[in-house]
C-alpha cells in the first residue's frame, strides 16, 4: 500500500532498454514516461483533470467492492476486440499472423489467470493472485461493419517511430486508430532507442488511444527476443491502458509514491531480471516487494500475476461511469453475417508475390478506395477499406506499378467475388485483365457490375505479376496482391427485413439490448434473421459471475428496476446456441 496520491498527469508510460556493462544481463527495462508525459500535457491541458476523475472513480469502485470475495476463477466481465496495426520497414518487422495470435493468447492467459506460471507466486502473495476476468479477441468486424481479421499491415520508409505517436496516424506514415471506445488498438512497429513499448492511460486523446510495442517484444513466437520473449510486455502495457500504474509508484526509490492499489506492498523502486524472494525495500519485510507482478520491470519469465486490487481498478473502467464502459457493448468481436461484411479471410485462397525487390503495386483506386503505397511484402490485406458498387452500373478502377529501378512488363488482373462463395473462379468474376506494360503511369480498367451480384460486402482482389499465367490464387515469383472490400447495392439478394415484432432496433445476426444503459426496462430484440416465434431463455449475472434471480420477462422486456446500478452480463439461449451481451443498469 503506497501512501501518497500518484500524479494524475500520467499519460503515456513507456518501457525502454538501457545497456549495462557491469552485469551479465546486457539490457533491462526502464521508463521513458516523463518526456512523453510532458508532450501530452502540453498538447492537452485538460488531461490531468480527466485522469484525476478516472482515478477517483476507480477508488470509489474499489471501496464499494472491498468486501467482495475473490474466487479462483471469475466470469468474463468484458471481451475486448483488438485490432493490430503492423507498420514495418524491414520484412522481419512484418510479423506473422501466428506471432500476433500468440500475443492474444498470452493476454487471455495472463488476464484470466490461465498462465501456468502463476503457481510460482510465493505463498505470502498467493492469496492475492487475481483472475481479472478480461478477455481479448482479434476484431472480426470493422467500425464500418465489415468483416476483418483484426490485423492490418502497412509498409513504411520509417525505420524507427519514437514515442511521438507518429505510428498512430496515417498522415505521418502510420495507421489510424479504430474507434477507441470500441476497440483496443495495438500498434506493432520498431520504436527505436531500445524501447519495448508504451501505452496511453484512460483519459488521453481518442486518436492516440492504445498501445505501441516493438515487434521483437510482441508475442512469444517468431521474431521475439529474450528475455522479453513471452509476451509480457503487452501484459504490462495493456495494464497501463486499463489504468494500472507501476507497482513502485514511480518515486525513484523514495518510498512515498503510490500505485493507487491497496494490496500491493510499498516498494522502493523497480526490480529487474529475476529477483529472489523476499526482496525487501521501504521496510516492507518480511515478504518484501511483489516483484513478480506484471507491473514491475522484471524479465518476462519472472512476472506472472495481477493482484485483487489491480483487478478491481481495471474492472472499474467497465462499471457505470467508467472510462472504458463502451467496450461492454462493442460488436467489434462479432463477425458480421446476413450480407454484412466480407466472408472470413480464411474462405479465400492465398495469393502472394514471392519478391517485391523489383516491382510492386503502388496505386489502387476504385470508388472511395484510394491507396498509394510502397512494397507490402507481396500481399496487402486492405479489407478494412471499402467502397459501394451498384449492380448494373459501369465502374472504372485505376492502378499502377511501382519499380525499384528498371521497369518490367507487368500484368494486372482484378477479381470480384460477386456471388460471395469464397472463390474468384466463377464466370464474370475476372473483371479486369490488363495486358503487360512497362509503364509506371496510372492505368485504368472498366467493368459492369452484373445485376445478379448479391447484395452486401464481398472481396475484391488486385493481382500484379510479370507472368501472364498468374491467377487469383497461389504464390508467384515477382509482383504483389492486394485485397479490398466492395459492397454491392441493388443486387440480387434482398436486404434483411425488420423483425416481425416491429422493432427497428433489431439487427440481422445478434440479439440487441436497448436502451443501454437501462433504468427500469431492458428491451431484448431478436436477430431479424431468427425465427420470431421460437422460444428463448435469459439469464443475468453480475461481474463476479453470480446469477441474478427473480427478474421478470414479458414480451421481450426484462424488468431490471430492482437491480443495483452497475454492469451485468446477459446470456440469451435459443435453439441455435447461447449469445452473450452486456448492459449497464443506471
Full 3-state SS string of 457-521:
EEEEEEEEECCCCCCCCEEEEEEEEEEEEEEEECCCCCCCCCCCCCCCCCCCCCCEEECCCECCE
Query: In which residue are the cell numbers 513504411 written?
Result: 156
Residue 23: pLDDT above 80?
no
pLDDT reported for residue 301 = 97
Question: Within a 10 A sphere around the Cβ of 431, how many other Cβ atoms?
Answer: 20
CA-nearest of 520, 527, 562 to 542 is 562
Name the pLDDT band for 485 (thresholds 50, 70, 90). very high
**Beta pairing class for 394-403 and 359-366:** antiparallel
From 57-66, 104-113, 213-222, 503-512, the region with the lowest mean pLDDT:
503-512
Average pLDDT for 406-433: 90
When pLDDT is cut at 50, 70 and 90, the band that residue 38 belongs to is low
Residues 6+ apart with CB under 8 A from 48: 8, 9, 41
Give the single-character DSSP code of 23.
Answer: S
Distances (CA, A) of 158 to 162, 192, 259, 330, 482: 10, 11, 35, 33, 21
Helices (H) and strands (E) in the chain, counts: 6, 26
pLDDT at residue 291 tops 50: yes
With cut-offs at 50, 70 and 90, classify the pLDDT of residue 147.
Answer: confident
Is 272's pLDDT higher than 70? yes
What percent of the chain has a predicted confidence (pLDDT) above 70?
A: 85
Catalytic residue among 35, 93, 152, 237: 237
Q: Are the C-beta atoms of 480 and 381 separated by less than 8 Å?
A: no
Strand duo 351-355 + 474-489: pairing: parallel
> Beta-strand (E) ranges in 161-281?
184-188, 195-200, 211-213
Coil, strand or helix at 86: strand
**3-state SS, residue 195:** strand
578 strand-pairing partners: 573
Helix, coil or strand: residue 434: strand
CA distances for 231 relative to 86, 136, 259, 294, 304, angstroms: 16, 14, 23, 11, 11
Main-chain phi, psi angles of 431, to 5 degrees: -90, -25
**Contact at 8 Å (CB) between 129 and 114?**
no
For residue 238, what pLDDT band results from cuts at 50, 70 and 90? very high
Q: CA torsion 235→237→243→249, rounded to 10°? A: 100
- Interatomic CA distance for residues 400 and 381, integer angstroms: 18
pLDDT for 34 beyond 70: no
* Sign for the pseudo-dihedral over CA of 149, 155, 160, 162: negative
Give me the residue spans of the domains in the chain: 12-328, 345-489, 512-585
586 included as an active-site residue:
no
Query: In angstroms, rounded to a whole number, what is the distance separating the alpha carbons of residues 293 and 246?
Result: 10
Q: SS3 breakdown of the chain: % helix, strand, coil, rounded to 5? A: 15, 30, 50
The torsion angles phi and psi of 556, rounded to 5 degrees, stand at 75, 10
CATH T-level topology, domain 12-328: Collagenase (Catalytic Domain) (3.40.390)
Phi, psi of 51 (to 5 degrees): -70, -35
DSSP letters, 287-352, are: TB--TTBTTS---GGG--B-BHHHHHHHHGGGSTT-TTGGGGG--TTS---TT-SPPPGGGS--EE
Say which residue, 585 or 395, is predicted with more confidence.
395
Contact predicate 324/202, CB 8 Å: yes
Asked: is 345-489 a CATH 2.60.40.2950 domain? The reply is yes
Cell of 461: 482482389
* C-alpha–C-alpha distance, residues 266 and 279, integer Å: 12
Prior bond of 165 cis (ω within 30°): no
Average pLDDT over residues 214-240: 95
Q: Are 273 and 301 in contact (CB under 8 A)?
A: no
Q: Is 115 exposed, middle or buried (0-12, 13-18, 19+ CB in 10 A)?
A: buried
pLDDT at 73 over 70: no
Q: Write down the architecture of domain 512-585 according to CATH.
A: Sandwich (2.60)
Q: Is the pLDDT of residue 260 over 70?
A: yes
Count Cβ atoms below 10 Å from residue 38 Cβ, excluding itself: 12
Q: Whole-number mean pLDDT of the chain?
A: 84
Report whether pLDDT(340) > 50. no
Strand partners, 87: 154
Q: Do 12-328 and 345-489 come out as alike in CATH topology?
A: no
Residues 6+ apart with CB under 8 A from 360: 353, 373, 374, 375, 376, 401, 402, 464, 479, 480
Q: Categorize the per-residue pLDDT at 444 as very low, low, confident or very high, splitting at 50, 70 and 90.
A: very high
Residues 185 and 177 sit within 8 Å (Cβ to Cβ): yes
> What is the Cα–Cα distance from 232 to 211, expressed in whole angstroms?
13
Q: Is residue 493 pLDDT above 60, yes or no? A: no
Contact (CB, 8 A) for 73 and 543:
no
> Which three cell numbers, joined as nine digits, stand for 176?
489510424
pLDDT at residue 390 is higher than 80: yes
> Highest-confidence range of 107-121, 524-538, 544-558, by mean pLDDT?
107-121
Kindly indicate the confidence band of residue 208, based on its pLDDT and cuts at 50, 70 and 90.
very high
Statement: residue 70 has pLDDT above 60? no
Asked if residues 490 and 444 have their Cβ atoms less than 8 Å apart, the reply is no
What is the β-pairing status of strands 184-188 and 12-19?
A: unpaired
At 532, list the grid cell.
420470431
Kindly tell me the burial class for residue 13, based on how many C-beta atoms sit within 10 Å of its own C-beta (0-12, 13-18, 19 or more): buried
pLDDT value, residue 434 = 95
Region 2-10 average pLDDT: 37
The pTM for the full model equals 0.60
How would residue 139 be classed by pLDDT, with cut points 50, 70 and 90? very high
Parallel/antiparallel/unpaired status of strands 474-489 and 379-390? parallel
C-alpha to C-alpha distance for 115 and 112, rounded to whole angstroms: 8
Instruction: Please compute the mean of the pLDDT values over residues 498-524 and round it to a whole number.
Output: 63
| pLDDT at residue 315, rounded to an integer | 93
Quick: pLDDT tens for 552-582.
Answer: 887 788 888 888 888 788 888 887 777 777 8
- Reported as a single tens digit per residue, the pLDDT across 76-123 is 578 899 999 999 999 999 999 999 999 999 999 999 898 999 999 999
Amino acid at each position: 500500500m503506497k501512501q501518497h496520491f500518484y500524479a494524475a498527469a500520467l499519460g503515456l508510460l513507456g518501457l525502454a532498454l538501457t545497456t549495462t556493462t557491469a552485469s551479465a544481463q546486457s539490457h533491462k527495462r526502464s521508463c521513458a514516461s516523463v518526456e512523453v508525459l510532458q508532450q501530452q500535457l502540453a498538447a492537452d491541458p485538460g488531461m490531468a483533470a480527466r485522469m484525476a476523475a478516472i482515478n477517483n472513480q476507480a477508488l470509489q469502485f474499489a471501496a464499494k467492492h472491498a468486501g467482495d470475495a475473490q474466487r479462483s476463477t471469475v466470469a468474463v466481465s468484458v471481451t475486448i476486440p483488438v485490432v493490430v496495426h503492423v507498420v514495418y520497414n524491414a520484412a522481419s518487422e512484418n510479423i506473422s499472423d501466428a506471432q500476433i495470435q500468440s500475443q492474444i493468447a498470452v493476454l487471455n492467459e495472463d488476464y484470466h489467470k490461465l498462465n501456468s506460471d502463476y503457481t510460482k507466486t510465493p505463498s505470502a502473495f498467493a492469496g492475492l493472485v487475481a483472475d481479472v476476468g478480461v478477455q481479448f479477441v482479434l476484431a472480426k468486424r470493422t467500425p464500418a461493419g465489415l468483416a476483418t481479421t483484426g490485423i492490418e499491415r502497412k509498409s513504411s520508409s520509417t525505420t524507427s517511430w519514437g514515442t511521438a505517436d507518429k505510428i498512430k496516424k496515417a498522415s505521418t506514415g502510420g495507421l489510424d486508430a479504430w474507434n477507441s471506445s470500441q476497440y483496443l488498438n495495438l500498434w506493432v512497429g520498431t520504436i527505436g532507442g531500445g524501447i519495448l513499448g508504451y501505452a496511453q492511460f484512460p483519459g488521453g486523446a481518442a486518436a492516440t488511444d492504445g498501445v505501441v510495442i516493438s515487434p521483437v517484444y510482441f508475442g512469444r513466437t517468431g521474431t521475439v527476443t529474450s528475455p522479453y520473449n513471452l509476451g509480457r510486455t503487452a501484459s504490462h502495457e495493456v495494464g497501463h491502458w486499463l489504468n494500472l500504474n507501476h507497482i513502485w509508484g514511480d518515486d525513484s526509490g523514495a518510498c512515498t509514491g503510490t500505485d493507487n492499489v491497496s494490496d500491493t506492498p510499498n516498494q522502493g523502486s523497480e526490480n529487474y531480471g529475476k529477483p529472489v524472494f523476499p526482496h525487501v525495500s521501504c521496510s516492507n519485510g518480511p515478504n518484501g516487494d511483489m516483484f513478480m507482478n506484471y507491473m514491475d520491470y522484471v524479465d518476462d519469465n519472472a512476472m506472472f500475476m495481477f493482484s485483487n486490487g489491480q483487478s478491481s481498478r481495471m474492472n472499474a473502467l467497465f462499471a457505470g461511469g467508467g472510462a472504458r464502459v463502451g467496450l461492454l457493448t462493442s460488436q467489434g468481436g462479432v463477425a458480421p453475417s446476413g450480407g454484412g461484411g466480407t466472408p472470413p479471410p480464411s474462405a479465400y485462397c492465398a495469393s502472394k508475390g514471392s519478391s517485391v525487390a523489383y516491382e510492386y503495386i503502388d496505386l489502387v483506386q476504385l470508388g472511395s478506395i484510394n491507396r498509394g503505397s510502397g512494397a507490402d511484402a507481396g500481399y496487402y490485406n486492405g479489407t478494412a477499406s471499402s467502397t459501394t458498387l451498384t449492380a448494373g452500373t459501369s465502374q472504372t478502377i485505376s492502378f499502377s506499378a511501382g519499380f525499384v529501378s528498371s521497369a518490367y512488363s507487368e500484368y494486372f488482373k482484378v477479381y470480384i467475388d460477386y456471388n460471395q462463395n469464397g472463390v474468384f473462379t466463377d464466370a464474370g468474376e475476372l473483371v479486369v485483365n490488363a495486358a503487360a506494360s512497362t509503364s509506371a503511369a496510372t492505368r485504368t480498367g472498366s467493368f459492369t457490375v452484373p445485376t445478379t451480384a448479391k447484395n452486401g460486402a464481398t472481396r475484391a482482389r488486385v493481382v500484379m505479376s510479370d507472368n501472364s499465367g498468374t491467377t487469383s490464387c497461389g504464390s508467384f515469383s515477382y509482383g504483389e496482391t492486394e485485397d479490398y472490400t466492395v459492397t454491392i447495392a441493388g443486387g440480387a439478394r434482398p436486404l434483411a427485413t425488420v423483425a416481425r415484432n416491429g422493432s427497428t432496433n433489431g439487427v440481422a445476426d445478434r440479439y440487441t439490448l436497448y436502451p443501454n444503459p437501462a433504468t427500469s426496462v431492458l428491451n431484448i430484440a431478436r436477430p431479424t434473421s431468427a425465427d420470431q416465434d421460437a422460444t428463448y431463455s435469459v439469464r443475468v449475472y453480475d461481474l463476479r459471475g453470480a446469477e441474478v434471480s427473480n427478474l421478470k420477462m414479458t414480451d421481450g422486456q426484462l424488468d431490471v428496476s430492482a437491480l443495483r446500478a452497475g454492469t451485468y452480463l446477459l446470456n440469451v439461449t435459443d435453439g441455435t446456441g447461447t449469445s452473450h451481451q452486456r448492459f449497464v443498469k443506471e
